[in-house]
Amino acid sequence: MRAIIQRVNSASITIESEIPKKMSKGLVVLFAASKDDIRDATPALVEKLAAKTANLRIFNDDNDRMNLSAIELGLSIMVVSQFTLFADTRKGNRPSFIEAANSPDARRIYDLYVQKLREYPFREFITGSFGAKMNVELENNGPVTIIIDTKEWENHS
């Protein structure tokens, strides 16, 4: 699983032609599952990723150090599925997406990740619509962007 986590001042998402959903300061998470995650993304691993996301200390404290989480500050979160995070660009100029999980499995893993994140007390909780055309607008704060790939956890505790 990959999560691109951005610290934002504000964000909004428009799903197809619906009214935009807006949030205040917090996190925007772009999430994707790979073919390997169909086998490897256990509920415990998804829960660990959700906990890491919610508790990631990337907001500044009174000493201007990144030492506080969105949860500690009572901030918001937006989670958007984005299979293109598994684009393979090694050959040619057209990305290949063969490493991305198939739609039913990716949706199952995404839904579990969202379900686990909902257990945390975010001020606002916004999600995209799996597989839909969406427009995301955000004001990145910092900018601070963190990439988490659970494959990197395999050899580290």
The Cα–Cα gap between 150 and 114 comes to 16
Catalytic residue flag (residue 115): no
Catalytic residue flag (residue 82): yes
Token reading at 62? 């009174």
DSSP strands (E only) in 2-87: 2-15, 21-23, 26-32, 57-60, 66-69, 76-81
The single residue of 82, 86, 122, 127 carrying the catalytic annotation is: 82
Catalytic residue flag (residue 6): no
The Cα–Cα gap between 81 and 97 comes to 14
The Cα–Cα gap between 118 and 33 comes to 19
Token reading at 24? 């205040």
The single residue of 31, 59, 83, 86 carrying the catalytic annotation is: 83
Give strand pairing partners of 148. 3
| Beta carbons of 20 and 68 less than 8 angstroms apart | no
Point out the residues that are catalytic.
82-84
